[in-house]
Amino acid sequence: MKNRLTHILILLSVLTWLPAQSRAQKEEEYSQAKLRVEWAKVDILLDSATMYLDAKPQESFDFIERALEISILGNDRLNEARCYIMMGKVSYNLQQYDVAASYYQKAAMRLDKRNDDLAGKVYLLLGQAYEKGEKYTESIDYY
């Protein structure tokens, strides 16, 4: 009888633990799915910004700002960097080279060791912005 009671208590504890575990798993799965949707939104917004980069820079900038907002709220530093790079490109195309350089610097600060390729591109863009802005001493540091 005592052994049977122990088995029943163990079974009850397992049964009450399982729904909590599956609820936590479902919440985690939902959170991951939501994050993937947000990443997709950022990609779409940045693709749209690229399409309007030359023809309609203000619209391009509007798409980038929305993508940046999503990235910041999601604590997604890589996409934040991508947004700042695009903002730099818009500013560069508008011949606002100092502004472009500041956006490229913001992008560089958000990248880590896993993003060495992108960081290299950012530093090249930074050097180009300084060169076009006739800040040759600064541009040499990034070439």
pTM: 0.73
Instruction: Please give the pLDDT value at position 56.
Output: 93
pLDDT tens column, 43-101: 899 999 999 988 999 999 999 999 999 999 888 999 999 999 999 999 999 999 999 99
Contact 97, 129 (CB under 8 A): yes
pLDDT tens column, 105-142: 999 999 987 888 898 899 999 999 988 988 877 877 76
Torsion of CA 24, 77, 56, 143, to 10 degrees: -160
